[in-house]
Amino acid sequence: PQAQEKLVSLFHFALREGGILLLGGSETIGNANDHFAVISKSARLYRHIGHSRPGEFGFLLKPGDGVGGPKRPSLAPVPTRQAGFAELCRRLVIESYAPATVLINGQHECLYSLGPTEHYLRVAPGQPTLDLFAMAAPAVRTMLRAAIQQVRQENRRVVLPGGRMSHAGNPLAFSIAVQPVPSEGQDLLLVCFIEEPRPAGKRGRPATPQELSRVAELEQELEATKSELQGAIGNLETASEEQLAVNEEAMSVNEEYQSTNEELLTSKEELQSLNEELTALNSQLQETLERQRTTSNDLQNILYSTNVATLFLDTNLNIRFFTPATKLLFGIIPSDVGRPLADLSALAADNTLLSDARTVLRTIAPVEREIEARSGAWYNRRISPYRAQDDGVEGVVITFTDTTARRHVADALGASKREAELASLVKSRFLAAASHDLRQPLQTLTLLQGLLAKSVDGDKAQKLLARFDETLGAMSGMLNTLLDINQIEAGTVNTEMASFPINDLLERLRDEFTYHAEAKGLTFHVVPCGLAIRSDPRLLEQMIRNLLSNALKYTEHGKVLLGCRRHGGLLSVEIWDTGIGIPQQELRAIFEEYHQLGNPARERSLGLGLGLSIVQRLGNLLGHRVQVRSNLGKGSVFGIEIMLSQTGEQTPTDASGHGGDGKKIGGAGRKGVVLVVEDDPDLCDLLRIFLEDEGHRALTVPDGVAALEAMQRDATPPDLILTDYNLPKGMNGVELTVKLREVLRWQIPAIILTGDITPIILRGIAGLDCVRLNKPVKLPELTNVIERLLVGSAAPARVVAAAGNPETPVISIVDDDAHVRAAIRSAIEESGRVVTDYATAEEFLEAYRPGGEACLLVDAYLPGMSGLALLQRLRNAGDRLPAIIITGHGDVPMAVQAMKAGALDFIEKPVGKGELLAIVAQALEGARDATALAARRNHAASRIGGLTARQRQIMELVLAGHPNKNIAADLGVSQRTVESHRAAIMRKTGAKSLPALARLALTAASIGAEGPVVQGKPAAAGTM
């Protein structure tokens, strides 16, 4: 406690007013409440109060401080001489006459001493101490203790005389004076040892023996008393020391008790804090329980309000929970919770429920099925794993979603879709017939206009003929535009990606549009380009043709430029004009249907406003970006960005079949014999007049049969064939051209006029080395083409077929068309193979004998037993005869079914000789060499494997015969997105046509046992 009190006093002295004192957890300020105010008893924080006094801290810095050391020199002025004398006098008086004096505190410690204290005090042996009793002489100690005790009791000055002691052999009498000295809150004592003067000796008689004896006895009694007193004092000191030890032990016990009390207080505070934390946790637990109760109520309301039958089962398939809607499917009551689901009677035909639930528990994968209730309602039953918070599976959750309304809507949608497909097919057939029927009179009018322009004179007549020509051009343009937009919307436009030199296309367009530009007084310039690109030649030509037509239509004066610019791996085909220009806010709108600039009255000479829309849609289909920039009043620039062809890739001949170099022949060309095949008498007669006026000899026949008969009668073969595509008696212009070339034994140039621009017909004409002209064709254009084809086209010597090798495999042809059989047989025999042909499947089966190497070419549509039935019969009989299906309808889904029935490949009529021989050779090689077949399959699989999941899905629907519009509706995307995906499919697979894509897909699907890639039902011919 004393040390604690000293430290607290020191802390109070050191702190300023209002200072903060922080003690340890087991410390207190003791009795210093008047010096410190409590801020936080638990935190042991106190604030300084009261004023500090210099003598408050009760300990000395060092023992020698009590006798006073040398003072620190000061800067005080030097004392005067008189002051020095006064100080000297005072010091001498104190040293000579002042009694020995000691200033002590309440603990009997010497604070200051003065005078001859060495007579009464001495340094105590042992550890240095300032205790006055320890330093006092034994003769002084008892008297000193009594005086101090009396002063403390009476609090006044006390003088005890009669002290006796000896010093340096001399007796010394003294008295002790003690007086209290208050000093700034401390009770000090001033102890003085006052020497008494020695008494003068009495002169008289000497003492008698009796007196001396008595004195001796008294001295002995005094010594005995003194000894007893000394013993009592010793006992008192021992008792005092024991009392001091007891007090110290009591203080120690008190301190321990105080420490324990403080610990108890700390524990109490900790318990209070813990109690507060428990109270807070209890509140949080209550809130959590309330939230869980609310969440449970919300979940229960959700389950009940959605009216979805839901069952919760544990791992043993016992019922854990169910919603009220479950009663529609099971005879279940609340007491059934905990029962096995197998004990309940189901109200729906669902025999796989329990097995599916076990499967879900085993595989952790959801299972869905469509089930029908006894009431006729349909449900989508889904079983999912019941997962706990640790992601463990503790059962299954079964939901039954009512899909009756959706099923009815799907059935209605399917019926509507079938009706729409039928309507689309009927519309396509109608438009094809309308195209042919409308173009025939247009062609007649165009020829009449051309002949009249050569035969009439006069400005007025020429102006009328010019107006007549403009009207015919507007009618022809509107008809072409309507047919093009219809084919794009119906999804019947097929892309055939190929690599070809762009310059061939530029030259053809230059030859065609130079005439139109000159007729309008414009300059048309084409910049050659030596690069090769990858695109569909026919569709790309149509895009550029539409842009050139627009440029010429909206350019009143100046020029039109067609050229190319290379940007990295792209080639931009650009059309520049000096026309009216396009406002910036209209640059996007011009690609919308029926949108025209500067034609509010919808003048028919400016078209229908569909040309740029067709360009945009074809660009999406081919994957070509169409760009436009324009300055109003100065002109416009349209560009089509096309991928450049890869290095080393083969480039085919020009897509339109134009012979020669495409350059216009100036002046009078060579005259020759032209075979004209046209079933329209008026048009045939006009063509004859036109040819004769040009100096040619015209042979006119109404159909293909008559043309063949005429070639047998006429010894002079024609130099050129000019034929309509649609001819009577079962032979079209392409088939007639193939047959005539076989009969004449040379590649006679041919021009095919067609009013039907459907993709199937255009592909058939493009596969033949001939020139296609769309009706109505103008006489200058027809004249230019005839002159170009007749240059160097003299009939060569006939080619004699090589003799067949007896060991060559037998190629059997089954087709009901005699002309087709003859054409195919002639082409194959020229390659040195043995060929047999049959009109029906029954004739083939009657003559066929298994064994040996052979190949079968069979038409899909045969009278009696069809080609598919023939393949199926051979397959059922175990005969793996290599077969190739032939169709003239472009029905890809039907060809897919044929390949599923066992056909190795399929071809479409008309087919070129090179393609035919290549397919036959590939079929024979595949039948002989399993390694080659596997290589083809792996190659096809790698091509198909490069497609994304969405592209494979669109490919399946396309090959199943669905149009783009229906595919977009089924997948929930736009039609342009479908067109872009289709273009990407053709580009990634390298297929140049839809049949080639189907062939590639089926070849890839023949690997493994998962079935073919293509699924779906047959659809209309040529729908893509």
Tokens of 535: 């695109």
Give the model's pLDDT for residue 928: 65
Q: How does residue 179 score in pLDDT terms, banded at 50, 70 and 90?
A: very high
Q: Is residue 592 predicted with pLDDT exceeding 80? A: no
Q: What is the pLDDT of residues 21-77, one digit of tens each?
A: 888 776 777 777 777 888 887 778 888 886 655 545 444 444 444 444 455 554 555
Q: How does residue 971 score in pLDDT terms, banded at 50, 70 and 90?
A: confident
Tokens of 298: 């919300």
Say how far apart CA 448 and CA 443 lie, in whole Å: 9
Mean pLDDT calculated for residue range 956-979: 82
Give the model's pLDDT for residue 565: 92
Extract long-range pairs of 482-486: CB within 8 Å, 24+ residues apart: 482/608, 482/610, 483/431, 483/435, 483/757, 484/542, 484/610, 484/614, 484/757, 485/593, 485/610, 485/613, 485/614, 486/427, 486/428, 486/431
Mean pLDDT calculated for residue range 985-1014: 66
Cβ atoms of residues 860 and 868 within 8 Å: yes
Q: Is residue 129 predicted with pLDDT exceeding 80? A: yes
b (16+ CB within 10 A) / e for 848-876: beeeeebbbbbbbebeebbbbebbbebee
Q: Is residue 745 predicted with pLDDT exceeding 80? A: no
Q: How does residue 1016 score in pLDDT terms, banded at 50, 70 and 90?
A: very low
Burial zone of 607 (CB within 10 Å; 0-12 exposed, 13-18 middle, 19+ buried) = buried
Cβ atoms of residues 1007 and 941 within 8 Å: yes
Mean pLDDT calculated for residue range 882-892: 72
Mean pLDDT calculated for residue range 332-352: 80
Say how far apart CA 478 and CA 605 lie, in whole Å: 9
Tokens of 231: 């013993």
Higher-confidence position of 48 and 486: 48
Say how far apart CA 492 and CA 486 lie, in whole Å: 9
Alpha helices in 306-389 (DSSP H): 353-363
Q: What is the pLDDT of residues 900-922, one digit of tens each?
A: 777 777 777 767 777 788 888 88
Say how far apart CA 38 and CA 20 lie, in whole Å: 10
Give the model's pLDDT for residue 492: 57
Q: What is the pLDDT of residues 443-483, one digit of tens each?
A: 677 777 777 777 777 777 777 777 677 676 656 665 666 56
Say how far apart CA 361 and CA 384 lie, in whole Å: 9
* Omega cis (within 30) before 910: yes
Whole-number Cα distances in Å, 108 to 102, 145, 866, 953: 10, 10, 140, 111
Say how far apart CA 147 and CA 158 lie, in whole Å: 7
Parallel, antiparallel or unpaired: strands 834-838 and 110-114: unpaired
Give the model's pLDDT for residue 677: 93
Mean pLDDT calculated for residue range 537-557: 85
Give the model's pLDDT for residue 228: 74
Q: How does residue 276 score in pLDDT terms, banded at 50, 70 and 90?
A: very high
Q: What is the pLDDT of residues 216-253, one digit of tens each?
A: 778 777 877 877 787 787 788 888 888 888 988 888 89
Q: Is residue 828 predicted with pLDDT exceeding 80? A: yes
Mean pLDDT calculated for residue range 154-161: 88
Tokens of 181: 């000295």
Give the model's pLDDT for residue 1011: 38
Packing angle, helices 913-928 and 930-945, rounded to 10: 110
Whole-number Cα distances in Å, 164 to 175, 196, 324, 996: 9, 10, 119, 146
Tokens of 699: 């042979």
Q: What is the pLDDT of residues 393-422, one digit of tens each?
A: 889 999 888 888 888 888 888 888 888 777
Q: What is the pTM of this model?
A: 0.34
Cβ atoms of residues 254 and 261 within 8 Å: no
By percentage, how much of the chain surpasses pLDDT 70? 80
Closest listed residue to residue 446, CA positions, set 424, 422, 479, 416:
479
Count of C-beta atoms within a 10 Å radius of residue 904: 25
Q: What angle do CA 654, 657, 658 make, to 5 degrees?
A: 90
Which residues are within 8 A (CB) of 483 and not within 5 positions of it... i.e. 6 or more apart? 431, 435, 757
Give the model's pLDDT for residue 573: 93
Would you state the torsion angle of the CA atoms of residues 726, 727, 732, 736, taken in this order, to the nearest 10 degrees? -140
Cβ atoms of residues 416 and 652 within 8 Å: no
Tokens of 668: 């009078």
Say how far apart CA 690 and CA 782 lie, in whole Å: 10
Parallel, antiparallel or unpaired: strands 158-167 and 110-114: unpaired
Q: What angle do CA 34, 39, 44 make, to 5 degrees?
A: 90
Q: How does residue 929 score in pLDDT terms, banded at 50, 70 and 90?
A: low
Q: Is residue 327 predicted with pLDDT exceeding 60? A: yes
Give the model's pLDDT for residue 670: 67
